[in-house]
Amino acid sequence: MNQNGAIPQSNKATYYSLLGLHPSASPIEIRRAYRQLSKCYHPDTTDLPSSVATAKFQQLNEAYATLSNPERRLTYDMKIGYSRFGVIQVPPDLNHPSYDYDPLKSAYLDPSDRPLSAGELFALFILGITFLGCLLLAIFIGLTRGDAAFQTQLTPTAQQQITHLMPMEIKN
């Protein structure tokens, strides 16, 4: 593929055209095409003359060996003038999403919105029970201790020390 995105034409068939693929084909597509064609052209399973089937099968093996190896494929792509960097194109309009979402066809208002799973519901239930338990415990402690919880009790020695430190006018 040259600068404007066209695949260069040559007299010799490329490995991609031999397998019936575009140069941007994925490794999975390459493997599928090779397996399908190798079944058709294997000398033991085809109706073609043995010499033609053997030559074609050898070409398929050579093409697959080159295209299935990433380093060899990159070298081959450079040799035929194909650049993977020209394949990536900017979307025509970045301001509009490429998916068509119709809110009337969905029960949910937001496409990312979904119902909670059973595990999530269980976790929320446990959190609610924990919060309720803490609230009841705080109320129970407040009711049983009452105002005593807010009062500080001093030992007799601490009371004597405080009275000695106080000015005389306050004592009277």
pLDDT per position as a tens digit, 132-163: 999 999 999 888 887 665 666 666 776 676 67
Asked whether residue 40 is assigned to any structural domain, the reply reads: yes
CB 66 within 8 A of CB 76: yes
DSSP 3-state of 128: helix
Dihedral Cα 96, 102, 106, 112, nearest 10 deg: 0
Confidence (pLDDT) at 159: 67
DSSP 3-state of 15: helix
Domain boundary among 86, 113, 129: 86
Question: What's the whole-model pTM score?
Answer: 0.44
pLDDT per position as a tens digit, 5-49: 444 444 468 899 999 988 888 889 999 999 999 888 888 888 888
CA distance 150 to 168: 28
Q: Which of 109, 93, 90, 89 is nearest to 101 (CA)?
A: 109
- CATH number of the domain to which 32 belongs: 1.10.287.110
Indicate the number of domains in the chain.
2
Instruction: Look up the domain containing 148 and give its range.
Output: 121-164
Asked whether residue 103 is assigned to any structural domain, the reply reads: no
Q: Which of 53, 20, 47 is nearest to 34 (CA)?
A: 20
Asked whether residue 95 is assigned to any structural domain, the reply reads: no
Domain boundary among 60, 86, 112: 86
Say what percent of the chain tops pLDDT 70.
61
Asked whether residue 129 is assigned to any structural domain, the reply reads: yes
Asked whether residue 100 is assigned to any structural domain, the reply reads: no
Asked whether residue 115 is assigned to any structural domain, the reply reads: no
DSSP state of 117: P
